[in-house]
Amino acid sequence: SPRRSGGPFLHGEIRVEWRGWPSSSKLWRRWVTKLRPLHEGLWKRVGIFDAILSTTWRIRRDEDLLLQLAAFWSRETSTFVLQWGEATVTLEDVAVLGGLPLLGKPVCAVLPDALRGDVHALEGIRSALNRSKSKKPNYSSWVNYFLECPPESDAGGGRGDTAAGLLEHGAFLAMWLSEYVLPSPPCDVVQARVLPIAAQLARGQPVALAPAALASIYKCLSTLAGCAPLQILQLWVWERFPELRPEKVSAHNNDNGVPARAAKWHNVREVLEPRYIHAVFMSPGRFEWMPYGSSSSFGVPPSNGGRRVHGQDIAGTDELLSMALCLHPCELVGIDCIEQY
């Protein structure tokens, strides 16, 4: 709840257990490097290419920043109720900062019968790791299952369209979903609940991940429990409140083929006093309402020339449909929650 005193939380006043913050391990980066040449085209078609590449960069958690911000959260409105007005993480923020797709089937959609065999194969990997020394499908065991002991039929890491290649791709996406997109307790294992989503993505079927990820962020802020992709929330603060950004920007910002918004924050950190953070949140002049400018792909196409947009126009292009979804009140459908947007 918002503080009665209106002041900041100071060190030692409240203890928060942060779970599910992604690590971007060396093993994971090796796996991305291995599979990117095989599946980059498919990742782009289903809208997850930027999101996957973003995971190769480490966003260092700023606990003071997140704690001060959480004090302004209103569960009733799903917004941060600040002294000067309300603001919130939007679907556009999740799409731009997290690189997650807005369009596609809901994450809770019924799995097509044709994909049940794919899910069963992924469940077999979880069962095998449950019987291994680790006794659970934790992230390191999951990666090593493919990097260190690849299936015999695809031992050279060859084509991604073989049965073994499809299985590895589905397993890769299952870990990506578990750690970076839809984490849930226990936050160090590949979750069975994401396997149907991974199977659909591996077959090139788009899934609306942005609404599900945002639903989990809203739920986490409202309950102060569970896991969520809070790295997106931290990026939101840095984009919306320039005075709270780290002064140094990563040297990887201009790497070829890397989403700039993820790369520029790689491993950077700014240590700020809680009182200063709180003061910035209290000032309306320190908030940017439109931080993305022309870099966002949403909006009226330049060829439209500023004319009115009609319903049939919106249905005809993904860009306009995405913009409409970002602006329209709706229910955000997650795996285990539904939040109001």
With a CB cutoff of 8 Å and minimum separation 6, the contacts of 100 are: 47, 48, 51, 94, 181, 209, 210, 213
> Which pLDDT value is given to residue 11?
65
pLDDT for 280 equals 95
Q: What is the pLDDT of residue 296?
A: 62
Whether the Cβ atoms of residue 160 and residue 167 lie closer than 8 Å to each other: no
Mean pLDDT of 107-114: 94
Give the model confidence (pLDDT) of 41-56 as tens digits: 999 999 999 999 999 9
Q: Is the pLDDT of residue 144 over 80?
A: yes
Residue 32 pLDDT exceeds 70:
yes
Residue 251 pLDDT grade (very low, low, confident, very high; cuts 50, 70, 90): low
Q: Would you say residue 256 has pLDDT above 60?
A: no
pLDDT for 156 equals 43
pLDDT recorded at residue 247:
83
β-strand partners of 332: 339
Averaged pLDDT for residues 105-116: 94
Task: Quick: pLDDT tens for 97-107.
Answer: 999 999 999 99
Q: What is the pLDDT of residues 292-334, one digit of tens each?
A: 876 565 666 556 566 677 777 787 788 888 988 999 999 999 9
Tens digits of per-residue pLDDT, 127-139? 999 998 888 999 9
Q: Percentage of the chain with pLDDT > 70? A: 87
114 within 8 A of 204, measured Cβ to Cβ: no
Query: How many degrees, rounded to 5, is the angle at CA 235 between CA 329 and CA 268?
Result: 175
Cα–Cα distance for residue pair 130/134, rounded to 1 Å:
7
Residue of 219, 271, 203 lying closest to 42 (CA atoms)? 203
CA 315 to chain centre: 26
What number of CA atoms fall less than 13 Å from residue 134's CA on the CB side?
Answer: 19
Residues in contact with 239: Cβ distance below 8 Å, sequence separation at least 6, in sequence order: 93, 97, 261, 288, 291, 292
Total residues found in the chain within this entry: 341
Q: What is the CA radius of gyration of the chain?
A: 21
pLDDT at 1 over 70: no
pLDDT of 18 strictly over 90 = no
Residue 77, token pair as written in the block: 């409105």
Q: What is the pLDDT of residues 158-212, one digit of tens each?
A: 566 688 899 999 999 999 999 999 999 888 899 999 999 999 999 999 999 999 9
Backbone angles phi, psi at 338, to 5 degrees: -130, 120
Which pLDDT does position 155 carry in this prediction?
43
Contact predicate 270/250, CB 8 Å: no
- Cα angle: 76, vertex 82, 85; to 5 degrees: 90
Rounded mean pLDDT of the chain? 87
SS (H, E, C) the chain: CCCCCCCCCCCCCCCCCCCCCCCCCHHHHHHHHHHHHHHHHHHHHCCCHHHHHHCCCCCCCCHHHHHHHHCCEECCCCEEEECCEEECCCHHHHHHHHCCCCCCECCCCCCCHHHHHHHHHHHHHHHHHHCCCCCCCEHHHHHHHHHCCCCHHHCCCCCCCCHHHHHHHHHHHHHHHHHHHCCCCCCCECCHHHHHHHHHHHCCCCECHHHHHHHHHHHHHHHCCCCCCHHHHHHHHHHHCHHHCCCCCCHHHHCCCCCHHHHCCCCCCCCCCHHHHHHHHCCHHHCCCCCCHHHCCCCCCHHHCCCCCCHHHHHHCHHHHHHHHHHCCCEEECCCCEEEC
